[in-house]
Homo-oligomer: A and B are copies of this chain.
Amino acid sequence: MVAQVIDGKAFAAKVRAQVADQVAKLKEENGITPGLAVVLVGEDPASQVYVRSKGKMTVEVGMNSYEHKLDVDTSEADLLALIDKLNNDPAVHGILVQLPLPKHLDEDLVINSIDPAKDVDGFHISNVGLLGTGQKSMVPCTPLGCLMMLREHHGSLSGMDAVVIGRSNIVGKPMAQLLLGDSCTVTIAHSRTKDLPDVVRRADIVVAAVGRPEMVPGEWIKEGATVIDVGINRIDAPEKGTNEDGSVKTRLVGDVHYASASTRAGAITPVPGGVGPMTIACLLANTLTACSRANDLPEPEGLTA
């Protein structure tokens, strides 16, 4: 069996197009333009790249993008004051504070100061609690993206055996809640799991979110299973030669050994080009959802959990 490749890049583009359509409709029919505020503290290069991409795509789907770049030494009080302002700004429907924050800032405190209704990252404890009790919430972007891909591929997930490898607050745990919400039988595995190969082997759906390069070999995958690989790990790739400075070139791999897994899986997301592109698409979807709710309009179809 050769697995169908789940093309995250193409699917993310489709999701962004859906968002753009609905944004256009919102503007035309209701005179409302969704707005996303992104707050970046400091000059971490990776964070700067993310924030730039987010801003660019926000504008591309027709939303307003508000970027707030603060000095690395910004005080907690100043950051909280900015968030308070954004919480009270009716033009801002989504607020995202780019993580990680500099060490002198309390991330939990900062995240929980965002109005839960504008918390488009879905990290506020109220949103975790709402998701955990099956209520309407803002859902973290990466697991929401994984859920959308699974629904797109399978239609109903009801009754499927799903295994989530990894129990992080950002991916593993909300992913398990989402799969449970879609009536999968859900197993959460992690570093203390006794017989991980056996646990993975019984799954119709495997979501790997550990951050260890290629730790899931193809032989663990049940014939025909769907594999969602959340890991994005950079490893040395001596076969690609060296850079000008003599260092070995690198490449990105997932948590799943793609070559072997794709001979057994029914469908699989590649790395790169799988889950990754879905994250920003879901951020835009969440912003649209937040805007619709703030204006008592129906939820955007197909873009929520």
Contacts and interface: CB of A to CB of B under 8 A. Distances in A.
Contact of A187 (B130, B186, B190): B186
A240 interface: no
A189 interface: yes
Given A132-B173, A169-B133, A186 B188 contact: yes
A126 B130 CA distance: 9
A104 interface: no
Interface stretch (A77-85, A191-199, A281-289): A191-199
Contacts of A160: 194
Contact of A159 (B125, B183, B192): B192
Given A125-B126, A129-B126, A129-B132, A192 B188 contact: no
Nearest to A188: B186
A130 B160 CA distance: 28
Contacts of A193: 159, 185
Nearest to A192: B183
Interface in A103-148: 108, 124-135
Count the copies.
2
Given A125-B126, A126-B126, A173-B132, A194 B190 contact: no
A158 interface: yes
A257 interface: no
A135 B128 CA distance: 12
Given A127-B129, A159-B194, A188 B199 contact: no
Contact of A158 (B169, B185, B187, B192): B192
Contacts of A133: 125, 128, 169, 173
A37 interface: no
Interface of A: 108, 124-135, 158-161, 167, 169, 173, 176-177, 180, 183, 185-190, 192-194, 199
28 contacts: A125-B125, A125-B129, A125-B130, A125-B135, A126-B129, A127-B129, A128-B129, A128-B132, A129-B129, A129-B132, A132-B132, A132-B173, A132-B177, A133-B173, A134-B169, A158-B192, A159-B193, A159-B194, A160-B194, A167-B180, A176-B188, A183-B192, A185-B188, A185-B192, A185-B194, A185-B199, A186-B188, A187-B188
